[in-house]
C-alpha cells in the first residue's frame, strides 16, 4: 500500500516534536562546559544509549539489512571486534582522559606530544568526520526520496535544518537526550517491521530458515578461513573490527565527547562497555531483518528490481506496512539520521572551537563569546555536510561500507599516535608525526596497489604508525626537544 497522508502526518509530527524537545534544553546552556560536556550531569546509561545512536546513523538501518539481503550474517563478526575494542578503550584510554579537565580527545595529544600534534590529530578528525557524515547525510536522501519522491537537495536540507535547530540551541545535553528517545524509536520501529514481514510470509520463520539455507545458508555468522581480501571473515572482523572501533571510540571526538561528559571515570567506563552489548543486539536485529526481507521478496517480488541494496528496507516500509505504521517506521529511520547528525554537528563544533578557535584566535574571550561562536560553528558545519552529501550521490557502492572505508584511512594513524602517547614514555612528537606519515603512506599504497579488504585498513595504519614512531624515537629522533607533560589539567 502507498505511503499516504496519515503516514506523512506521523513523520511530520515526529520531526516537529523531537526538534522542540531538543530545543528546550537551550536555557541550560551558559558556558562551553555546558554546551559541549553537558555540565557533567548526564547519567551513564543515557550516554551508553547515545554512543550507540551516534555510531549508528541512518546507514546502519538502511544498509545493514541490504548487506544481509545480498549475502548473509557474516558482517556480525565485525561487531564482535567492536566489543573487544570497548574493553580496550575503557581500560587504556578513558583513565587518561579523566586525568585532566578535557573538552576534546586532542588535548590529551597536546599534553603528551605538544600543540603541533594536537593540530594534526584534530585536523584529521575534522576532515574525516565531515566526509563520513556527508555520506551519511546523502543516505538520508535515499529514504526521503523513496517516500516523498523529492530530489537530493530538498531531502537533505529538510532533515539537516531541523537537526541543526535543536543542536544549535541545546548543545550536547539536547543531543544525548534526543539520542535516547530516537534509539528507542528506531529499534522499536525495526522490530515492528520485522514482525509484520514475518507474519506476511507463508510459513513464517520456518519458511525464512528454509529459503536462507537453500540460498547458501544466509543465516551463517562465522567464517574461519583466512583471506586478506574479504572483509567479513572471523579474523578480519575480530581484529579489524577491534582496531576500527578502538580508533572510532577512543580517538574520534564524536564518541570521546560523550565519554568525557560522564559524571566520573567509572561511569564513563560503564557507558562504553554497556554500549557494546546494545550495539551487538542492534546489528543482529538489522541483519536478521535483511534475511527476512530476502524471504519476503521471494514470495512477493518487487515490481522493479532494486537499484541498490540500500533501498530494500525503506521500500518495504513504504510499500507494505499498514497506514500509520509506515509513518512510524519511517520516523524511526529518520530518528537514527537525526541522532547521528546532531552528534556530528556538536563534535565538529567542539573541536573547531576548543582545538583551533580558542587557542589561536581568541584565547582570552569570555564564556558568552565562546558559546556564541560554538553555535555559529554548528551552523557552519551543517552547510559543509550538505555540500559533501550532494557530491556523494555520484558514488554507487553501499553507503555504509563507503562511510566506514573513508573513516578507516586516517583512523589507523590516529590510533597509532594515541597508543604511542599512552603506552610509551620516551616517544617524541616528531617521531610520532613521522610514524603517522609512514602509516598513511603505507595505507595509501595498500589501497592503491592491492585488494586488501577495508576492515584491515585501521590495523595496518595503526601498527605501521606505532612501529615507525617507536623506532624513530629509539634512534633519537626529536628526543632533544622539550617533552610536554604527560598528565595534568589541560588548557582548552
- Grid coordinates representing 105? 580527545
Instruction: Specify the residue for cell string 555540565.
Output: 39
Tell me the mean pLDDT in the region 401-425. Answer: 80
Q: Is 54 left (phi over 0), alpha (psi -120 to 50) or beta?
A: alpha
72-98 pLDDT, tens digit per residue, is 888 888 889 999 999 999 999 999 888
The grid coordinates of residue 138 equal 546523502
Contact 249, 51 (CB under 8 A): yes
- Report the pLDDT value the prediction gives residue 89, as an integer from 0 to 100: 94
Task: Classify 489 in phi/psi space as left (phi over 0), alpha (psi -120 to 50) or beta.
Answer: beta
CATH class assigned to 5-408: mainly alpha
Per-residue burial over 249-262, b if 16 or more Cβ lie within 10 Å, else e, is bbbbbbbbbbbbbb
Looking at residue 129, its pLDDT comes to 83
Q: What is the pLDDT of residue 83?
A: 93
Residue 256 has pLDDT above 80, yes or no: yes
The model's confidence at residue 38, banded by pLDDT at 50, 70 and 90, is confident
**3-state class of 214 per DSSP?**
helix
pLDDT at residue 488, as a whole number:
42
Q: Does the pLDDT value for residue 492 go beyond 70?
A: no
**Across the chain, which distance is largest between two alpha carbons, in Å?**
74
Give the DSSP H/E element, type plus range, for residue 242: helix 234-250
Question: 397: Cβ–Cβ under 8 A, 6 or more apart, which residues?
Answer: none
Residue 145: its pLDDT value, please? 65
Q: Report the SS3 class of residue 262.
A: strand
pLDDT higher than threshold 50 for residue 484: no
CA 307 centroid distance within chain: 25
Write the Ramachandran bin of 323: left for phi over 0, alpha for psi from -120 to 50, otherwise beta.
Answer: beta
- The pLDDT of 59-83, averaged and rounded, is 84
DSSP secondary structure string for all residues of 146-179 = HHH---HHHHHHHHHHHHHHHHHHHHHHHHHHHH
HSE-up (13 A, CA, CB side) for residue 218: 24
Using the predicted structure, report yes or no on whether residue 388 has a pLDDT greater than 50: yes
Residue 175 has pLDDT above 80, yes or no: yes
> pLDDT grade, residue 485 (50/70/90)?
very low
In sequence order, what are the residues at sequence separation of 6 or more whose Cβ sits closer than 8 angstroms to the Cβ of residue 469?
A: 416, 417, 420, 427, 431, 432, 434, 435, 436
How far apart (Å, rounded) are the C-alpha atoms in residues 85 and 240?
Answer: 10
CA distance 231 to 454: 6
pLDDT at site 251: 86
Q: How far apart are CA 101 and CA 99, in angstroms?
A: 7
Rounding to the nearest 10 degrees, give the CA dihedral for residues 185, 187, 192, 198: 170
pLDDT the model gives residue 112:
85
- Residue 103's SS3 state is coil
| Residue range 232-255: mean pLDDT, rounded | 87
Q: What cell does 478 get? A: 626529536
- CA 246 and chain centroid, separation: 12
Q: How confident is the model at residue 395 (pLDDT cuts 50, 70, 90)?
A: low
Q: Which residue has the higher pLDDT, 59 or 269?
A: 269
Residue scoring higher pLDDT (216 or 416):
416
Sign of the dihedral defined by the CA atoms of residues 84, 86, 90, 96, in that order: positive
Q: Who contacts 410 (Cβ-Cβ below 8 Å, separation ≥6)?
A: 124, 127, 128, 440, 461
Instruction: Output the DSSP codes for 9-72.
Output: HHHHHHHHHHHHHHHGGGGG--SHHHHHHGGG-B-HHHHHHHHHHHHHHHHHHHHHHHHHHHS-
Residue spans of alpha helices (H) in 93-221: 94-97, 106-113, 115-148, 152-200, 204-214
Buried b (16+ CB within 10 A) or exposed e, 96-120: bbbbbebbbbbbbbbbbbbeebbbb
**Alpha carbon distance 209, 466 (integer Å):** 46
More confident residue, 14 or 139: 14
CA distance 335 to 53: 9
> Among residues 250, 242, 243, 241, which one has the least CA distance to residue 96?
250
pLDDT for 482 beyond 50: no
Model confidence over 129-152: pLDDT tens digits?
888 777 777 777 666 666 666 666
What is the per-residue pLDDT for 486? Answer: 44
Give the closest residue to 188 by CA, choosing from 408, 14, 354: 14
* Cβ partners under 8 Å of residue 446, min gap 6: 452, 456, 457, 460
- List the helix and strand counts (H, then E) for the chain: 19, 0
For residue 274, what pLDDT is reported? 95
CB count in 10 Å sphere of residue 481:
13
What is the chain's mean pLDDT, rounded? 82
Instruction: Tell me the sheet residues that pair with 262.
Output: 42
- Can you tell me the mean pLDDT for 304-332? 76
Amino acid at each position: 500500500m502507498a505511503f499516504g497522508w496519515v503516514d506523512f502526518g506521523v513523520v511530520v509530527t515526529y520531526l516537529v516534536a523531537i526538534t522542540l524537545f531538543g530545543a528546550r534544553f537551550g536555557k541550560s546552556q551558559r558556558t562551553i562546559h555546558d554546551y559541549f560536556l553537558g555540565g557533567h550531569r548526564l547519567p551513564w546509561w543515557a550516554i551508553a544509549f547515545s554512543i550507540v545512536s551516534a555510531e549508528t546513523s541512518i546507514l546502519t538501518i538502511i544498509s545493514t539489512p541490504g548487506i544481509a539481503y545480498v549475502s548473509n550474517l557474516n558482517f556480525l563478526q565485525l561487531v564482535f571486534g567492536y566489543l573487544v575494542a570497548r574493553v580496550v578503550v575503557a581500560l587504556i584510554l578513558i583513565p587518561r582522559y579523566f586525568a585532566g579537565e578535557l573538552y576534546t580527545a586532542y588535548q590529551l595529544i597536546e599534553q603528551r606530544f605538544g600543540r603541533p600534534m594536537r593540530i594534526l590529530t584534530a585536523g584529521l578528525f575534522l576532515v574525516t568526520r565531515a566526509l563520513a557524515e556527508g555520506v551519511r547525510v546523502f543516505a538520508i536522501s535515499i529514504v526521503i526520496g523513496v517516500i516523498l519522491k523529492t530530489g537530493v537537495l530538498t531531502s537533505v536540507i529538510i532533515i539537516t535544518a531541523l537537526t541543526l535547530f535543536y543542536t544549535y540551541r541545546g548543545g550536547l545535553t539536547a543531543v544525548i537526550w534526543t539520542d535516547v528517545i530516537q534509539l528507542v524509536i528506531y529499534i522499536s520501529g525495526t522490530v515492528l517491521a520485522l514482525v509484520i514481514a514475518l507474519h506476511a510470509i507463508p510459513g513464517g520463520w520456518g519458511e525464512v530458515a528454509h529459503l536462507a539455507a537453500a540460498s547458501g545458508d544466509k543465516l551463517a555468522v562465522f567464517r574461519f578461513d583466512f583471506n586478506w581480501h574479504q572483509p567479513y571473515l572471523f579474523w578480519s572482523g575480530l581484529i579489524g573490527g577491534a582496531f576500527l572501533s578502538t580508533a572510532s571510540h577512543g580517538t574520534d571526538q564524536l564518541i570521546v565527547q560523550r565519554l568525557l561528559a560522564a559524571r566520573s571515570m567509572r561511569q564513563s567506563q560503564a557507558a562504553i562497555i554497556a554500549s557494546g552489548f546494545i550495539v551487538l543486539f542492534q546489528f543482529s536485529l538489522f541483519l536478521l531483518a535483511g534475511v527476512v526481507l530476502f524471504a519476503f521478496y521471494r514470495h512477493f517480488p518487487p515490481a522493479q528490481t532494486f537499484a541498490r541494496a540500500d533501498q530494500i528496507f525503506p521500500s518495504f516500509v513504504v510499500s507494505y506496512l499498514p497506514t500509520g505504521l509506515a509513518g512510524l517506521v519511517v520516523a524511526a529511520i529518520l530518528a537514527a539520521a537525526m541522532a547521528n547528525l546532531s552528534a556530528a554537528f556538536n563534535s565538529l563544533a567542539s573541536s573547531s572551537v576548543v582545538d583551533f578557535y580558542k587557542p589561536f584566535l581568541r584565547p582570552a574571550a569570555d564564556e558568552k563569546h565562546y558559546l556564541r561562536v560554538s553555535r555559529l560553528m554548528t551552523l557552519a558545519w551543517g552547510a559543509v555536510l550538505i555540500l559533501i552529501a550532494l557530491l556523494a550521490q555520484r558514488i554507487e557502492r553501499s553507503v555504509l561500507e563507503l562511510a566506514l572505508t573513508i573513516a578507516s584511512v586516517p583512523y589507523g594513524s590516529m590510533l597509532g599516535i594515541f597508543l604511542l602517547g599512552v603506552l610509551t614514555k620516551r616517544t617524541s612528537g616528531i617521531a610520532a608525526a613521522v610514524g603517522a606519515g609512514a602509516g598513511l603512506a603505507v595505507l595509501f599504497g595498500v589501497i592503491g596497489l592491492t585488494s586488501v579488504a577495508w576492515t584491515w585498513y585501521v590495523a595496518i595504519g595503526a601498527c605501521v604508525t606505532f612501529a615507525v614512531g617507536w623506532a624513530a624515537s629509539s634512534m633519537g629522533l626529536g628526543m632533544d626537544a622539550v617533552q610536554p607533560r604527560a598528565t595534568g589539567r589541560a588548557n582548552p
